Every structure is written in structure tokens, then in C-alpha cells.
Amino acid sequence: MASKTHIILVTLLSILSLLAYNSVYAQLSPNFYATTCPNLRTLVQNAMRQAVTREARMGASILRLFFHDCFVNGCDASILLDDTATFTGEKNAGPNLNSARGFEVIDNIKTRVEASCNATVSCADILALAAREGVVLLGGPSWIVPLGRRDARTASQSAANSNLPSPLSDLATLISMFSAKGLNAREMTALSGGHTIGQARCSLFRTRIYNETNIDSNFATTRKANCPASGGDSNLAPLDSLTSTRFDNNYYKDLVARRGLLHSDQQLFNSGSQDAVVRTYSNNNAAFASDFAAAMVKMGNLSPLTGTNGEIRRNCRVVN
């Protein structure tokens, strides 16, 4: 009897979770600005094309901004708020300090959008659209972005410090942290594939290349050339050793070859539960692209502010 009751409770919780997710999704719509700002996508595309042409890494930087925004109290553009004498934002939280970048690109897009559709489009939606365009410009998949998010008037440095996975995280921690956001282990592994573009600082992978054993020795030697045992903390290395400015499945090929740059990367392929998924993605770019796109939509639906909650910021860096 107790077992049956447990099953019923689990089933009810699953149904409630699904209803909650669908309710959030229903509040957002790809056509939200169809009449109020019909040229929105073109404005974002053009600005992102210019930004990525100037620096291909910017596609990865904007994608990371979106991830770091959504994992801290939802996709509400709180990460874009500057610190002031009376306001503490998230930019100086450990995971963002001296690493979160691309804010000026979002500012540029916002300026263009405001000139065309004044006080209409949220910074949260601009960031969501810019993340997609950055991926597409680097050869990755596209996806439909539901819109209608509003901007937070608050931020949480403490939540940014606690909710964002560390490059030193083990597999169990990664699975747990993504699960807390309603994302399963396969979705976590797919989203981690965002590391097919972008770079990381020496300070974040020094321990891996000097101390860990589940690493290709030639790869470690190559990385040590630009990441000494001491000093050079800000020196950069590509997260994908093969095509770091091309959004593809080579990140997973690196993992299979024990060439994951970060400890948390290699944890996805280290005789654990995600080995089979990593191997599938390493052999099938289409499967990775499809799963990544679906997971991005799901992540983009994390706790958005809608209706009359929040605001439409005039300047993404400050509340109105």
C-alpha cells in the first residue's frame, strides 16, 4: 500500500511539474513582438553578425551570458545589471568576475532596438535572441525562441555564487545542479556542448593539466606551454581543441580522446552515466544539434517574468 501511495505521489508531482512548465511556456510566444517590433530578429541578427565578425569568440561569450542569466533566478537579464553604491548585481560574483563578457554587444543591440521599437523589447528577450544568433553564426543549429520575458529589478550575487556550476565540479554535482533547474542529465550533457566554442583561462584548467591522470599526455603538454605551473592565470586556451570557432560536435570527440580542457568537461566522459551520450554526440552531430536546440528552449523558459512582473528596461545596465 505504501509503495502504491509513493507511486501515486511521484506521478502527481511529475504531472504538476509538467503543468507548471507548460504554463510558463504558454506565457511566452515566438510571435510576442510580431506587431509591436516586427523587425526585432533582423536587428539582433545584424548586430550579432557584426560582433561575431569582429571577434568569433563573442558568440560563445553571449551564449555563456544567457546561461549564467537563466541559472540565477531565471532568464530575467539580472546578469546585465551594473553594481552601484546602493545596488549589488551579479557581475562580480565568482563565476562572472573577470570572465563574463559581451555586455557592450547587448548594449548595442538594445540601442538599435530602442530606436526602432521604443520601450517595447526586454533585455531578457534580447539576450535570448542574441544567444541563438551567435550559435547560428558559428555554424550551429537554430531554434524557435519563445518571447515575452520581462526584466528583473533585482539581482542576486549570492545565487550567482551558488547556482552556477564550477569548472571543478564532478559529474554528480553537475547532474544535481542541472536537475535543480528542471534539466535532466542528457540535457546537461547537450548544453555542455556549448563548450565547442569559446575559451577558458589557465587558472581554471591548471590543476587538470598538471595533476589529473584521465588526460591525453600530448594534449596536457600542449596546454602547459601556455599555462605555466604558476603565473599566466589569464592566458586563454580553446575549450574545443579542434574547431573552437565552429559550433560542431568536436567538443565530444575531444572528451572521448581525453582532451577535455576543464575538469567538469572530462567528467562527462569518465566511466560514468554520460559516457554513452557523449559517444553518441561524438559520432552524430545531428543528434547533438537537435538535443542542444531543444535544451536551449527549455533552459530559456526558466522562471521568466511575464505579464506585469518586472519591467522593460530602457538601459540594460540599470533598472528604470
The three-state (H, E, C) secondary structure of 169-237, written as one string: CCHHHHHHHHHCCCCCHHHHHHHHHHHHCCEEEHHHHHHHHHHCCCCCHHHHHHHHCCCCCCCCCCCEE
Q: So what's the pLDDT on residue 2?
A: 47
Residues 196-220 have pLDDT tens digits of: 999 999 999 999 999 999 999 999 9
Q: So what's the pLDDT on residue 207?
A: 98
- Compute the Cα dihedral for 32, 137, 47, 160 and give only its sign: positive
Q: Which domains does the chain have, with CATH numbers?
A: 40-164 (1.10.520.10), 171-297 (1.10.420.10)
Task: Examine the pLDDT at 97 and tell me if it is beyond 60.
Answer: yes
What is the residue-averaged pLDDT of the chain? 93
- Residue 23 annotated as binding? no
- Residue 275 annotated as binding? no
- Residue 72 annotated as binding? yes
User: With contact defined as beta carbons under 8 Å apart, do 130 and 107 qualify?
Assistant: no
- Residue 148 annotated as binding? no
Indicate the helix (H) or strand (E) that contains 161: helix 157-163
Q: So what's the pLDDT on residue 261?
A: 98
Task: Examine the pLDDT at 274 and tell me if it is beyond 50.
Answer: yes
The verdict on whether 68 is a catalytic residue reads yes
Give the bridge partners for 238, in sequence order.
199
Task: Examine the pLDDT at 303 and tell me if it is beyond 70.
Answer: yes
Q: Classify residue 80 by its DSSP letter.
A: G
Residues 115-166 have pLDDT tens digits of: 999 999 999 999 999 999 999 999 999 999 999 999 999 999 999 999 999 9
Q: So what's the pLDDT on residue 27?
A: 85
Residues 226-237 have pLDDT tens digits of: 999 999 999 999
Task: Examine the pLDDT at 16 and tell me if it is beyond 80.
Answer: no
- Residue 76 annotated as binding? yes
Place of cell 574545443: 240
- Residue 42 annotated as binding? no
- Residue 53 annotated as binding? no
Residues 46-88 have pLDDT tens digits of: 999 999 999 999 999 999 999 999 999 999 999 999 999 999 9
User: With contact defined as beta carbons under 8 Å apart, do 111 and 135 qualify?
Assistant: no
- pLDDT category at 17 given cuts 50, 70, 90 is very low
Q: How many CB atoms lie within 10 A of CB 195?
A: 26
Catalytic pick from 57, 64, 68, 91?
68
- Residue 243 annotated as binding? yes
User: With contact defined as beta carbons under 8 Å apart, do 168 and 182 qualify?
Assistant: no
Q: So what's the pLDDT on residue 26?
A: 54
User: With contact defined as beta carbons under 8 Å apart, do 265 and 195 qualify?
Assistant: yes
Q: How many CB atoms lie within 10 A of CB 157?
A: 18
